[in-house]
Every structure is written in structure tokens, then in C-alpha cells.
Structure 1
Amino acid sequence: MRRRLESLSFYLSATECLVEGEASGVVLNRSMPCRLWEDPELEQGEGIGDRDLPRGDPVAGRALVVACKPGSSSGGVGLLEAIHAGQAPALVVLDRPDEAIALGAIVAAEVLSLSLPVVVLDEARFAMAQAAHLVTLYRGGRLVLSGPRLAGLASVTAGGELGHEPTPHFAANDGFTLSPEDRRCLDGAAGPAAQAAMRVVVGMARLQGVRALFDVDRIHVGGDIEIGPAGLALAAQLVEWGGEFRVPTTIGALGEATTHVVKACRALGAIPLADSSPSRAGAEWPWPLALCVAIVGRAPALSAN
């Protein structure tokens, strides 16, 4: 007697597991540009309002399966706030890499020690994740999808039986180049702030598919940003760890609500500006990444290919 496909297990490659970890949650499907964590109802523990689902659907603790439309995403900082507030999903499953979402999760993990795994699947596996009831991610990158609706996708694997794939074998060297100083930071020799910041920078570089980092001359942290408790915690942690900006860094006028962040950035070595024009102040990244780049003085280099 053949067993209907109600569970599918497979291993993720290093490029598919954007943020590692262990988690399990009941599936909640979304289809939108990735402005996922910018609804004030989230602060009351409610769902993220969106056109595809009624308001009030809880997101905390769920496996959020997101079909991202092409275009820019600004959900990373909001995601960081949700993680810090304990209102984030258990894990996020994407159909394409999303830098903003990955940045929020990477910063939360490396600086705030708060884990939210983020994975990206190809078209066929993503469709299975959408049809699943439960998604579970194990250490080592094993992802298990389960639920009765998977029986309708039985033709995709194992002739309709319980599906498993063997553990993949990865090359030891993925071609990413680190300088001796980069390695020193990653090893913790330059202190905990530099170590965490370098992990964030390297994580984003790998996500972007680049092969090396480049030196940064100066950095600007933009003024048109909204910073909540997670942002305050991030800046405060870097200060507590004894972090210092390695390159000249300016920060825009952020308003009264973020004066504590400005104070923390000044403690790290930033220079406040009344005029936050990037043309005067240098390169501009999303502000959590900008803080990390400023501490290590390194940023992802563009691939020649």
C-alpha cells in the first residue's frame, strides 16, 4: 500500500538559507511587495493589514510564506522591530531573495541575539510551501513541509510516497574573499561590536552574490528613517560592546523621537548634520547596515560578472 504524500523533506543549500536557525510554524500565505511589518496593528499583536488577508490574522509564531513581487522592499527595519517586540513570524519563506527582509533578520541575530530564520525556495518548492499546513526548519538546513494538501502535489516527488532528499554536499570554498583584517574582525580580535558588524556585512554580501568587500571612505546615515525600540537597542548594544566608527560617519537630523539613537551614534563617532544630503555626506545604506559598515569600514563590492 502506498503512502500519500503528506510530508516532504529536503535540504537547503547555503544560498537558499538566508538566515539559519530552527523554527516551526503553521503556514500563513502572503502575496505583496515586501512591506510586511509596517502596520501599527502589529504593536497590539494583530496581523499585518494587507489586501490579500483580513486584518487580525496573527503573524507571530507562523511560517510566513511570502510571494514577493519585483521591486524595492522596505520591510527590513519594520521586521527588526517586530522581532524585538516578540511579534515576528517563527520563520519566513520567500520565493526570491529579499535584501531588506534578510537585513532585518541578520541584524537581529548577530547584534540582538534574536533568531528569525529566512529561507528562499525555487518555484516548485515554493508552491509546495504555499500548499503546506506546517513548515519546520531544522539545524543543518533540513526543511520539512507537511499537510494534507500536499497530496495533490504527489507527482512532484517519490511517486506519491513520503518524499526525502539526500543531504547535499557543498564545496568548502564558495569563492568569497576576505582580507586578513576581515578575518580578524570575524574572529573577534577587534572586539564584539566589530565581530557582529562584520558578520552582518558579510551576510549581506553573500546574499547579494558578490565575492569580496571594499574599503569605505565615509558613510551617511539618512535622516528620513523611523527608529523604534529595536533601533535603540541596536545602537545601544554596539556602544555597550565598545564599538567605534572606523570611517568618518555623518547622521541626518532624525527628530525628537530618535534623539537617543543620535546620542548613541555620536558615542560611536558619528557627526550630526542639519542637512542630511547624501551628496555631502557620502555613501548611504539602510541605516542598520550603515552602522555596521561604519564600524568595520568595509562594504560589499560589486561583482565583475
Structure 2
Amino acid sequence: MRRLESLSFYLSATDCLVEGEASGVVLTRAMPCRLGEGPPERDEPGGESVTGRALVVSCRSGSSSAGAGLLEAIHADQGPALVVLDRPDQAVALEAIVAEEILSRSLPLVVLDDARFAMAQAAHLISLYRGGRLVLSGPRLAGLASVTAGGELGYEPAPVTAANDGFALSPEDRRCLDGGAGPAAQAAMRVVVRMARLRGARALLDVDRMHVGSDIDVGPVGLALVARLVEWGDGFRVPTTIGASGKATTRFAEACRALGGMPLSDPASLRASAEMPWPLALCVAMVGRAPAPSTH
């Protein structure tokens, strides 16, 4: 018998929210915190940089509703190598999904059960490979278990997922996903569908108008997202107003004019729409479809 110093297992499709290959030295965090670059928070001992690290984040300890900062960090090439969560977090997932689908920048994002998450926290190095194989390694794992030969947990078979997940899509939804409505609508629909599934929605609903943001400050990444959508040559499918609080957001609102957006200086009457995170609202405006309320 030899002491276990590494673990290797396969993730299911639901465990791997954003696929990819990455490796990094572990850095642990607990919500609420900022997951991108920026001034260290009080709960970030030593103020260590997240750049290039395997960020292991406990979401159960708090809310990430203030924003994870991942999208800005990914856009600035200062993000972590990969992120490991102990539960699906919509705010974190949205930023990683939007970065992948619109900015073509992949930040692998995985969710582990309690036992494996504890092992991830104890690991020194985490590596993710294509096909969903996750490898945890480090001396602190030696006290967690023991196996015969090789010092590594025998590979588990890759999980099999059902072909039909019960998610209803209209013919127009599928046309958008297939690229028939243009590249911007295709990317936006992918974001909407992925977030709908993460939220537990069973279908998409028609939207007749949209408001993007209110008192947010989208920063350079917002301008980059709009620039990519404009470059692809599509526009908003439904009448869309844009919040304009703050200089950066005002520039964002003006950039959205090329997509058909209308800047709105007083969005008080649209507070309900503003509750949708602005990256998702931007995508909803591109396709006129939004996730139905979750049934659970």
C-alpha cells in the first residue's frame, strides 16, 4: 500500500460548466470575494494574485451577487487558469460563459461535490484535461486515502448523459443556434440556453422589449463585448434601452446604438428588467428570448 498523493476522475457534463484544458497551483477563496484582478479584499490573506492559479471557491459561505470580476480579468488576460466551485453559481458561470461564447476566451469552470471539493482545497496542483478528466495532486492528499499501486485513484469511466435533457427549443431557437440568424445571434442564443439550463428553466420565453443595466459600470469589457457583436453585423431583435449611469456605462450605451439600442438616463421605471445581469440582458436583447422562471 502507498499513500494517496493524487486523484484522477472524470467530470459529468453538468459538473463541467465550461470545458477546456488548464493547470494551476491552488488558491482558495470564499464568497463573497472578487475572483478577478483588483485590490485585495479583507478575506484574501496576503492579497495573492489569482492570475494563472487554480481558484478553488467556496460559494456556500456567501453570495457572489456583487459580481465576481471574472469577465474583466479574462478580458485583461489576468484571470485564473481554472475555477473550481462547490456549487453552481450563476454569477460566476455567466461571466465565464459569456467570455467563451462572445470573446472566444475560455476559462474552465467546474463544480465538485462536497468530498471532492474538500480534496481540491487540500490539493497543491489541479489539472483539467479534455474529456473532463480532473487530476488533483499534492502532499496534503496523502492523509485522505490510500490505494494499491501507482498512488493514483483508478480512472472512473466517463459519465454518460442522456441525449434528451427535456429542454424545449422552438424552431427559431434552433435556427439561431445553428447560425441561421447570424453569428451574434448564435453566440447570444448559446449564452441564453446555457444559462437557462443552469437555472433549471424548462423553456425560453418571448421578450418584447429589454433594458440592459441601470446603475452598473460595465468597464472596458462591456465595450469589447458590444464591439464584437457589432463586428458580427447583427443588431438587437427587440426594442432595447441601455442604462447610462457612470462614464464607462455611458460609453457602453453609446456603443450599443450600433446594435439599435437607445440610451436611457433615468431607468427607474425599468428596475425589474435591470435585475437581470447585464451580460445576460445583452444576449436576451440580441435574440428576443429569455429563460422561463425556474420550476425548482
| TM tier, smaller | over 0.9
Contact 1:112 / 1:234 at 8 angstroms: preserved in 2?
yes
What's the CA shift string for 1:98-153, capped at 9, x where partnerless?
Answer: 11111111111111111101111110000000011111111111111111111111
- Verify: 1:248 aligned to 2:239, yes or no: yes
Letter in 2 for 1:13: S
Shift of 1:32: 2.6
Match 2:200 to one of 181, 194, 209: 209
Shift of 1:243: 2.0
Aligned partners of 1:158, 1:124: CA distance in 2, in Å? 21
Shift of 1:260: 2.8
Name the CA shift for 1:63/1:301 in 2 (closer, same or farther; >3 Å).
same
- Verify: 1:131 aligned to 2:117, yes or no: no
Match 1:175 to one of 155, 166, 173: 166
Contact 1:63 / 1:89 at 8 angstroms: preserved in 2?
yes
**How many equivalent pairs are there?**
294
Match 1:62 to one of 53, 58, 61: 53
Name the CA shift for 1:159/1:268 in 2 (closer, same or farther; >3 Å).
same
SS of corresponding position for 1:40: coil
Where do 5+ consecutive residues of structure 1 fail to align?
A: 42-47
Name the CA shift for 1:112/1:85 in 2 (closer, same or farther; >3 Å).
same
Aligned partners of 1:275, 1:74: CA distance in 2, in Å? 22
Match 2:209 to one of 218, 228, 249: 218
SS of corresponding position for 2:202: coil
Shift of 1:15: 1.3
Shift of 1:209: 1.7
Shift of 1:79: 1.0
Shift of 1:16: 1.0
1:71-150 matches, within 5 Å, as 71-76=63-68, 78-150=69-141
Contact 2:169 / 2:203 at 8 angstroms: preserved in 1?
yes
Residue of structure 2 in register with 1:13 after alignment: 12
Shift of 1:178: 1.0
Where do 5+ consecutive residues of structure 2 fail to align?
A: none
Residue of structure 2 in register with 1:270 after alignment: 261
Shift of 1:281: 8.0
Letter in 2 for 1:16: D
Name the CA shift for 1:82/1:255 in 2 (closer, same or farther; >3 Å).
same
Aligned partners of 1:138, 1:98: CA distance in 2, in Å? 22
What's the CA shift string for 1:238-293, capped at 9, x where partnerless?
Answer: 11111211111111223333333112211111122221124478564111111100
Residue of structure 2 in register with 1:40 after alignment: 38
Aligned partners of 1:158, 1:229: CA distance in 2, in Å? 52
Shift of 1:30: 1.0
What's the CA shift string for 1:73-108, capped at 9, x where partnerless?
Answer: 2324x2111001111000000111111111111111
Letter in 2 for 1:87: Q
Percent identity over paired residues: 72
Q: Which runs of 4+ in 1 moved over 3 A?
A: 157-161, 278-284
Shift of 1:4: 2.0
Shift of 1:49: 3.1
Scaled by the length of structure 2, the TM-score of the pair is: 0.93
Letter in 1 for 2:251: H
Letter in 2 for 1:49: E
Q: CA RMSD in A?
A: 2.0
Aligned partners of 2:33, 2:166: CA distance in 1, in Å? 30
